């Protein structure tokens, strides 16, 4: 009875997938995204590391099995009955891995950086539309796989080595390049249909081109220093360190601006200190030097001018982020921004604010919170 029920359920599932084959891949892609959104928290947790490693391993195995399926390799084996589900598995793991990268940066206050990852996700969704017809475009298939692999290693290797710098980034890129080319060469050697569909030299050129573009973006400082992320950035009237906490006093925002507690305007009195408080997520035991670059907008030249660079060190592992602050006195009125940078001058985030003159009759609505 149980076997009959199981067969019926499998048959019903297969029929459902076939009836909705047009939409099934995108559903599985989004399913991978939702799964990680609900389950992942921080990159250095054992659970998160296990899930990401399983996703990457399963994606590689699914690509291998799928590309050999057209050659009849799995005929008369137990895998034959699951061949039609392999594209869906690929979509699920594509979605799961790409969503993980967005999740780990969604807490960042740097909207421009977070948005860049969402743009990449949208591009992956567009690629998914091209790939959904049995993922027939192998150039696109391996191109997306390589990008996913590159990002995977740039997250994982710094966590395991507990270090983050240009050398580690280059090692991560090299690891992803080698692993992708090894998988490609294995599939190309064992699959006659793949050899007919792609030119190996062209595929290798595409992968190396992606590798070169990502490295170019890195050295142009257009890629955030994963897995670090700016968690909070506040312009404040006072920051006091007391009993292991930071007490940050800032101007509270209007209640209808529910997404932010602190104002972006700073009401300034002569000789007053202007503080910038920031907290940064860093994986356990990962040490890094951070500095604040204070910049003022020159309304005459229409350019941002660097006023000062002030640094401090962080050590990773704290859930609330690793905290620090800098301050300046004798500032001028106008638009300011503080870039939160690594020692390699990669941008973790930008804290923008405007310094305005304070009227003595103007009451300040100050609030103090612990971090």
For 195-211, write each residue's pLDDT tens digit.
888 899 999 999 999 99
Select the highest-mean-pLDDT range: 22-26, 32-36, 104-108. 32-36
Tokens of residue 315, six digits: 């050590």
- β-strand pairing of 245-251 with 322-328: unpaired
Select the highest-mean-pLDDT range: 73-77, 127-131, 363-367. 73-77
Domain ranges of the chain: 2-219, 229-370
Give me the mean pLDDT over the 126-137 stretch. Answer: 56
pLDDT of residue 8: 42
Q: How far is CA 354 from CA 142, 250, 350, 366, in A?
A: 47, 14, 13, 17
Q: How far apart are the first and last CA of the chain?
A: 59
- Choices 2.60.40.1930, 3.40.190.170, 2.30.110.10, 3.40.50.150: CATH for 229-370: 2.60.40.1930
Q: Give the span between the Cα atoms of 314 and 225, in whole angstroms.
A: 14
Question: What tens digit of pLDDT does each residue of 30-67 get?
Answer: 666 676 666 666 677 788 888 889 989 999 999 999 88
Q: How far is CA 208 from CA 47, 203, 254, in A?
A: 32, 9, 50
For the purposes of burial, counting CB atoms within 10 Å of the CB of 326, is it exposed (0-12), middle (13-18) or buried (19 or more)? buried
Question: Tokens 């567009």 — which residue?
Answer: 126
What mean pLDDT, rounded, does the chain reach? 79
Q: How many CB atoms lie within 10 A of CB 347?
A: 19
Q: Give the span between the Cα atoms of 71 and 186, in whole angstroms.
A: 14
pLDDT of residue 336: 92
Closest CA to 221 of 100, 295, 326, 116: 116
Q: Give the span between the Cα atoms of 107 and 121, in whole angstroms.
A: 16
Report whether pLDDT(6) > 50: no
Percent of the chain whose predicted confidence (pLDDT) is above 90: 23
Q: Give the span between the Cα atoms of 361 and 73, in whole angstroms.
A: 82
pLDDT of residue 106: 59
| pTM, full prediction | 0.73
Q: Using CA of residue 85, residue 87, residue 90, residue 92, what is the dihedral sign?
A: negative
Provide the 3-class DSSP secondary structure of residue 325: strand
């Amino acid at each position: 009875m149980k076997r009959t029920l199981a067969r019926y359920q499998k048959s019903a599932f297969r029929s459902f997938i076939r009836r909705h084959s047009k939409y099934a891949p995108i559903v599985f892609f989004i399913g991978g995204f939702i799964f990680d959104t609900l389950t992942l928290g921080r990159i250095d947790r054992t659970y998160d590391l296990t899930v990401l490693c399983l996703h990457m391993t399963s994606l590689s195995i699914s690509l291998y099995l799928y590309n050999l399926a057209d050659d009849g390799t799995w005929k008369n084996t137990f895998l034959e009955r699951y061949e039609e589900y392999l594209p869906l598995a690929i979509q699920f793991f594509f979605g799961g891995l790409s969503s993980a990268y967005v999740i780990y940066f969604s807490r960042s206050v740097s909207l421009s950086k977070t948005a860049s990852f969402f743009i990449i996700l949208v591009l992956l969704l567009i690629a998914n539309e091209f790939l959904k017809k049995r993922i027939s475009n192998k150039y696109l298939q391996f191109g997306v796989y390589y990008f996913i692999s590159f990002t995977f290693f740039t997250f994982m290797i710094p966590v395991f080595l507990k270090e983050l710098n240009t050398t580690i980034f280059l090692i991560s890129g090299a690891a992803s390049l080698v692993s992708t080319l090894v998988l490609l060469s294995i599939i190309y050697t064992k699959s006659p249909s793949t050899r007919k569909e792609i030119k190996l030299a062209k595929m290798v050129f595409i992968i190396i081109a992606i590798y070169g573009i990502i490295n170019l973006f890195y050295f142009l400082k257009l890629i955030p220093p994963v897995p670090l992320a700016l968690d909070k950035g506040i312009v404040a009237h006072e920051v006091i360190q007391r009993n292991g906490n930071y007490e940050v006093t800032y101007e509270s925002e209007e209640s209808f601006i529910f997404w932010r507690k602190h104002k972006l305007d700073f009401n300034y009195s002569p000789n007053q200190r202007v503080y910038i408080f920031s907290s940064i997520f860093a994986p356990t035991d990962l040490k890094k030097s951070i500095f604040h670059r204070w910049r003022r907008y020159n309304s005459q030249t229409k350019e941002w001018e660097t006023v000062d660079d002030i640094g401090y060190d962080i050590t990773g592992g704290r859930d609330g982020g690793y905290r620090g602050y800098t301050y300046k006195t004798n500032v001028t009125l106008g638009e300011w921004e503080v870039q939160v940078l690594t020692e390699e001058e990669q941008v973790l985030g930008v804290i923008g604010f405007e310094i305005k003159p304070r009227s003595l009759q103007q009451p300040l609505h100050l609030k103090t919170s612990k971090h």
